[in-house]
Amino acid sequence: MIKKLCKNPILSAHSFNVFYLSNVVIDCLPKNTLSKQQIDDLLTAAVVHDIGKTTWPESLFRKSKNLLTKADWDIIRAHPAIGANMLRETGRYSEETIRIVEQHHERPGGTGYPHKIEPDLPVIILAVCDIYSACVEFRKYRKKPLSHEEALCEVGRFAPLNLIQILSTTRPKIQKMEECIFHETCN
């Protein structure tokens, strides 16, 4: 799985960023919010959450949102379930890690995909770290990454207040990561 990710520099850097950010957020949660097992499963999911994207054509990574066709959206919306199946086939990932991967684009009120179900805390944590990272990373389809404030706004569309506050208060740690790692994603 990791070899598949490493073949795509955008995906591998993004996966690392989401893993790092998930660690930062989990560290700031009140003690015993998640069990040790839940944390292990969540952090593993953070690394492989977009493994389903390794099946995408290269061109899809470079396409800006306003140019996506219906067929492109079908491929995009399928990646959580495809990723979950890929992980299941290896027999090496826990059912909880697979579940989080499958649900990482679900949103409160059933407004996400693919199943339009209510996400629980581990899923929301991964979703917050995923969207924040994607916003502040370099992408070929936009001139520059979003600022910290703009990224918080994007995350604020669905994230609970306590997670937004964590991202705000851990700004120095996140900023360090943005300076050294996120900028690696530009090529």
The residue ranges that bind Fe ion (CB under 5 A) are 50, 130
For residue 43 the two structure tokens come to: 């952090």
| Shortest distance in whole angstroms from residue 12 CB to Fe ion | 12
| Shortest distance in whole angstroms from residue 126 CB to Fe ion | 9
Q: Which residue has the tokens 């991964």?
A: 126
| Shortest distance in whole angstroms from residue 77 CB to Fe ion | 10
For residue 13 the two structure tokens come to: 């850097």
**Nearer Cβ to Fe ion, position 41 or 50?**
50
Q: How long is the chain?
A: 187
Q: Name every residue whose Cβ is closer than 8 Å to that of residue 95 and which is 6 or more positions away in sequence.
A: none
**Pairwise CA distance, residues 134 & 181, whole Å:** 13
**Nearer Cβ to Fe ion, position 50 or 102?**
50
| Shortest distance in whole angstroms from residue 32 CB to Fe ion | 28
**Nearer Cβ to Fe ion, position 50 or 106?**
50
Q: At residue 40, what is the residue type?
A: D
| Shortest distance in whole angstroms from residue 181 CB to Fe ion | 15
Cβ-based burial of 81 (10 A; exposed 0-12, middle 13-18, buried ≥19): middle
**Nearer Cβ to Fe ion, position 31 or 124?**
124
Backbone phi and psi for residue 105, each to the nearest 5 degrees, phi listed first = -110, 10
| Shortest distance in whole angstroms from residue 90 CB to Fe ion | 19
For the chain, the helix, strand and coil percentages under 3-state DSSP, each to the nearest 5: 70, 0, 30
Strand residue runs (E) in the chain: none
**Nearer Cβ to Fe ion, position 26 or 128?**
128
**Nearer Cβ to Fe ion, position 50 or 178?**
50
